[in-house]
Structure formats: C-alpha cells, structure tokens
Amino acid sequence: MTLGLAGRRIVVVCGSGGVGKTTVSAAIATTLARKGARTVVMAVDPAKRLATSLGLPHEPGERSTVDAGGGATLEALLLDTKRTFDELVERHAGSPERRDHILENRFYQRIAATLSGTYEYMAMERLYELATSEDWEAIVIDTPPTRSALSFLDAPRRMTDFLGGKMFRWLAWPSRAAGRAGMRGASMGARVLSRTVGRIAGTDLLTDTAEFLAAFDGMYEGFKQRAADVYALLSEEETGFVVVTAPERASLDEAGHFVERLTSSKMHLAGVVVNRWVRAPAIAAPSETIEELAGGSAEHRATAACLEVAERMRAIEARGRAAVEPFGAAYPEIPLTVVPELPLDVHDREGLDMVAGHLFGRAVETPEAREAR
Amino acid sequence: MIGADLLDRRLLVVSGKGGVGKTTVSAALARAAARTGRAVLLAEVEGRGGISRLLGAPPPGFEEPRTRLGFAVTSITPREALVEYLRLFFGMRTLSRTLARAKVLETATEGIPGFRDLMTAGKLYELTEWRRVPANADGRRRYDLVVVDAPPTGQLVSMLKAPGAFLDILRMGRPHRQLESIDRMVRRHAGIVLVAIPEEMSVAESLDTAEALRAEGMACHAVVANRVLPSAFPKGTRAAALRLEPKALAAILGEAGVEATEEDGAALLEAARAQDGRARAQRDHLAALAGAGPVTELPFLFTPTFGPPEVDALARELVP
C-alpha cells in the first residue's frame, strides 16, 4: 500500500531510533517538491554522506536549497535548539531587562541545553513558526532520535509542567520563603519536599532556580499559550503523522504505542512505513541440491551460493513477517507501506528516489515533465 | 572474541545508536560472563521491556530475578532509585513511601536536568560497590559483574557526566562524598562498550562518541560490531557469480532438478549480488570503526526467530 498524503500540508515523520526516519522524510520532501509544492524539510541529524550528496546544511540553524530532481528544488534546514529557545524567551520576555536576565541565568543555560524534551519541544516550536509565519505548501519534519517516539508528543506538556508546575514552585519555595515566618499555606507535600531538598541539596541548588523562576514569572502564561497553539496545530487535519518502523518487534511495539497515542490525542495518522523489509527470492532448492551444486564447476558453486543467500533471506523474511503480523492484527485499519531493504545505504538522490518509488508507488513526475509529455 | 580483562570489571556500560542491537549485545555479554561462573546482573536503564521481550521473560521491575541464561536481570527507573536512596541513606522510610506516591517525584525526575542520570548512576553504585561492603549487604545478592543496557550514544556522555556535574551543585556533606565515589566508579572503573553495526551512521556515531569520551577523560574499552554479514560468494565463486546470466542460472537449476524461470534466476542473482555489495561495504565500515576502539565482530544470525538460543550463540562468539 502506498503512502497517502492528500490534504496534508505538514508531515511529521516519527519512529524509534535507527529505523530510517531521515531517509523517509527526505524522500517524502523531494517527492512533494517534485509534485510542485513549495517544500521545506527540517532535518535533525542527517548522515554526512547523504547531507553532502544532497547539499543539506551541516550546522544547526543553517538553511540551504536542495535539488529535488527534475528541475524542482526544496529548502532544507537544521534545527538549532538553543537559538530557538532563546528566540522563544525573547518573544515572551516583554522587556529587554527580563530577556537578558533569563538568557544570562545559569539555570536557564543548563535547561536550554539539557532539559529532557527540550530538543523535541524546540522542533515543534520551529515547526509552528514555519507553518504560521512562512509561506510553505509542504512542511516535512524529521523528529529527533529519541528513545521513545512518544516523547515527541509529550514534550510540550513536560515543558509546561516543569516551567509552570508545582514542582518548580516548590523547589524555589524555600529560598523565596526565607525570612518569612512559618510554613502556613504550604501544603504537606511542599513542606516535605522542601525539607528534603534542603537536607540533601542545601539551598545552593535553589538559588539559581529561584532567580530563573522569578524572571520567568509572568512569562509563563504566554509560554503556555504558545505550547497550546503548537499542540493545536499538530491536531489539525492538515497535519499528518508518518510512523516509521523496522520489521522488528521492539520497533513495531513502539509504533503501536505511538499510533494509539495519536488516536487518543485526536491527531491524524497518515500511515505506517515498514522500512528495510527483507523479501527473499521465490525460488528455493532442497539442501541436498545446494550441496551437490557446491561441489561442481565455478558456475555451479556460484549458483549454490545464490541459493544459500536466498535461504538466509527467507529466515529473515519469516522473522519480519512474525513481527509485522501481530501489528496488522491489532490495527487492521492502518495502512502499511513497505519499503524493501535496498542494496546499499541510501546516500544520494538515486537512493532517495528508490525509497520514494516504494513510498508512493511510482516515480513522481515534475509538472514540467508532465507538460513536456 | 572480546578482550580478556573486559569481564573482570565490575561494571560494563553498553551503549550504541538506536536500533543497533544494544540489548542483544548486553545480554550476550552477560551470558558470556555467566558462563565463566561469574555472578552477573543485566540492568536495563529506562528500558521499554527490551530485555524481557528478548528473553521471553516477564518484566523484571526493580527486583532481580534470575533468567535461564544464568544471569539476573533488573530494570532501573530513576523514581525507584530515588526512593531507595532516601530510604537507605536517610532512613526516610515513611517519607520515601509518601514520595513514591506523589506526582511531584515524577516531575522532579523528569524536570531537573541530569537528575534521571544521577539517580541511575547512584543505583549502579549501589549494585556494584555499596552492597559489596558486608555491613551494607542486608541480604542483597552480590554480583561480580553488572552489565548495563544503557541509553543510546546521544545520551551516554551526559549520563556518565551527571554525577560529576552535580558535584558542583552539592558542594558538601554526605551526598557530596557519595557523588565523588559514584563519579570515580563511572570514570575509572566502568568498562564502556559501544555497539555498532557496520553502516555509515552507526560507525560515524561510534567514532564521535569515542572522541567525546576521550575529551571527558574516559575511554571506549571495547567496540562490538553487530550483524556482520558473511561474504555472499565463497572464495573462487564471486567472478562466476558476477558473470552468470539469469538464463544460465535457471538452466543450471533445471539440470539440478529445480524448475526455475529466467525471472527466478534474475531475482536470485540480484539478491545475492546485493548481499555481496552490502557485505563488501561492511568491510570498509568495519575498518573505519577500529578508530573507536578494539573491535569484536558478531555475525548476523539468519534465524527465523531471535531469543535466548541466539543470545547464547552470540555469547559464545564473544568468549568461545
């Protein structure tokens, strides 16, 4: 079954690590560009050879124009997490003083780089910007390599939970309350936690945090609204998620979780791509025949070797089938698009075109080529 | 075969790019060590059930059940590690129970940068060092070796650095001294194993990670190249295989009593040549991979299922 992206302006490509998300998103983007759409792709961590051969940017924050083949081009950009976060702060800071106060805060500098989910959230933030303030007809987003595909969807909630959440306030509470008498008003949980943190960490940890929190106060509402807008964009009909998986149980389990999460979040699944599927040649010979051939002339031995390769592939095909079948049974209504394992790593346009051919069923013509015909 | 002294360490941290078979290789290392008579624990960090899926066993949770491959397994979660820490070192029995139920704990482990990593490192310290002291043992099982199925390479260095990073924040007292011990364990005593597959991205990431480790004063002690393909054409057959026409191949098959069309011949040749190409490309990637550390190769296992017998087979490749 081929991948249906009709009506989708935004395509979010996700899946667990190592399944070929970057290749699939590049193949989707070049296909959409060749169909005539003004296309932008946000790459996360493309392989160097692929990046070099396509002319993708190498440094975070960079943009480049990429030849999509057949006279079409598309724009590619690499996410710069820190800069995106800084811009977000600038937008919501309200005053230059507050902005500088936050940007220079040690705690901010740490979370901007390391807070779990920052990367994912900034990818979404960047997507929102591309979708709302630039004029694109097709936006393809490759998601960061996370342990779990789900963490991409959880990122905004986690960010706002953390920045606005009670936990954060509790952490900052002891230093804010210093000088104030008593603990009236603080809940039992807050009291317990602040005592624990104080006992274990001392108040050192809290100073930077409290300063950051003070500066962040008042900015939080805007921040939260923005996160809600990003989430709303992801739920719109024009946004389609493509889940990429390897034909392996772990990867398919992950894909299943993701599909369920999309459904419960009222987001739209465009399709599931089973990448690098091994399909063995149909012909098989009994092992005695292979043995017999292996004792013959060079041609006979070569034939035996070919048959042996086919046998090995058959075992792997069976393994893939055993992994995919339960998924198909659990989600019978979900279309699966199978991309076979290609002879070599996909590292250039030719390889991408092969992937695109499997995704969309045929070589995609450019409007110019169609006219010429 | 892996370096002889690797299994003499008390802690092996196994990492690699997503999808390269970290869990499989971790289990194979644990199995190899168990076969030598060592008491071994395989610990999954923030796992998603990879070990139980691989071994066909129920998820271990924070317990340490033994598997039929001769080693015990556990799953480390930062939340449970924190609760255990508070209980062990601060006697906060009631508090830790209260906290265990509170949502705030989730937010703390999720939200504070590096906190998850710190809790994980702390638990590893408990497993490998702390409980070895007889006074601390309290009936806990002692292990000669703990093998950690760690997060992917992207998060490896920050995980290893977490205890040191918190030293700046917790500047005194008991936690500070504990952090020093944990930091020392991670930096000096842990063996770091990178798993790679002989493909461009995985090799590049392994080289980058080895470099990042060196920059932090650590090292990659072993590289395991997983899923190494056998050569498709045995010695003396390759030239013939590249020369052979589909029609001729179909004819040879026909003579041997296997009915085959020209298309069948073409499909067979295409599949075999593709695998030949992949196997040859792998050799180049393997050569490059040596830059990350001493490489041990594990063969691609062409089996219709993948479970404990395959883990055992790979363990025997690691330590014959």
A 255-284 → B contacts, CB under 8 A = 280-283
The pairing of strands A63-69 and A72-78 is antiparallel
- Identify the residue among B48, B159, B179, B202 best suited for mutation to test binding to A, counting A beta carbons within 10 A and taking the highest: B48
Cβ distance of B248 and A299 shorter than 8 Å: yes
* Burial track A327-362 (b if 16+ CB lie within 10 A, e otherwise): beeebeebebbbbebbbebbbebebbbbbbbbbbee
**A274 DSSP assignment:** E
- How many CA atoms does the CB half-sphere of B300 hold within 13 Å? 20
Short-list A15, A8, A4, CA closest to A276: A15
What is the overall mean pLDDT for chain A? 81
As a whole number of angstroms, the distance between CA B13 and CA B26 comes to: 9
Instruction: Give me the sheet containing B145-149, strands edge to edge.
Output: B72-76, B40-45, B145-149, B11-16, B191-196, B222-228, B295-299
Cβ atoms of A129 and A233 closer than 8 Å: no
Domain-wise residue ranges, chain A: 95-117+160-223
pLDDT tens digit string along A152-180? 677 767 667 666 655 555 555 444 444 34
In chain B, the residue whose alpha carbon lies closest to the alpha carbon of A47 is B201
pLDDT tens digit string along A43-91? 877 777 788 888 888 888 899 999 998 899 999 999 888 888 888 888 8
Residue A316: is it exposed, middle or buried by C-beta count within 10 angstroms (0-12/13-18/19+)? buried
pLDDT for B19 equals 86
Ranges of residues in chain A with a pLDDT under 70 are: 110-117, 145-152, 156, 158-159, 161-210, 362-373
The distance in angstroms from the start CA to the end CA of chain B is: 7
Cβ distance of A253 and B239 shorter than 8 Å: no
pLDDT for A368 equals 55
User: Any chain B CB within 8 A of the CB of A367?
Assistant: no
- Pick B260's closest partner by Cβ from A116, A283, A316: A283
From A201's Cα to the closest Cα of chain B, the distance in A is 6
Cβ distance of B113 and A115 shorter than 8 Å: yes
CA distances to B84, B167, B189 from B92, in Å: 9, 23, 30
* Burial track B64-78 (b if 16+ CB lie within 10 A, e otherwise): bebbebbbbbbbbbb
As a whole number of angstroms, the distance between CA A187 and CA B119 comes to: 26
User: For B287, phi and psi rounded to 5 degrees?
Assistant: -60, -40
**pLDDT digit of tens for each residue in chain B (320 aa)?**
888 799 999 999 999 988 899 999 999 999 999 999 999 999 999 777 889 999 988 888 888 999 999 999 999 988 888 888 877 776 666 666 666 666 666 666 665 667 778 888 889 999 998 888 888 878 888 999 999 999 888 788 878 888 887 776 666 777 788 889 889 988 888 999 999 999 988 999 999 999 999 998 999 999 999 999 999 999 889 999 999 999 999 999 999 999 999 999 999 999 999 999 999 999 999 999 999 999 999 999 999 999 999 999 999 999 99
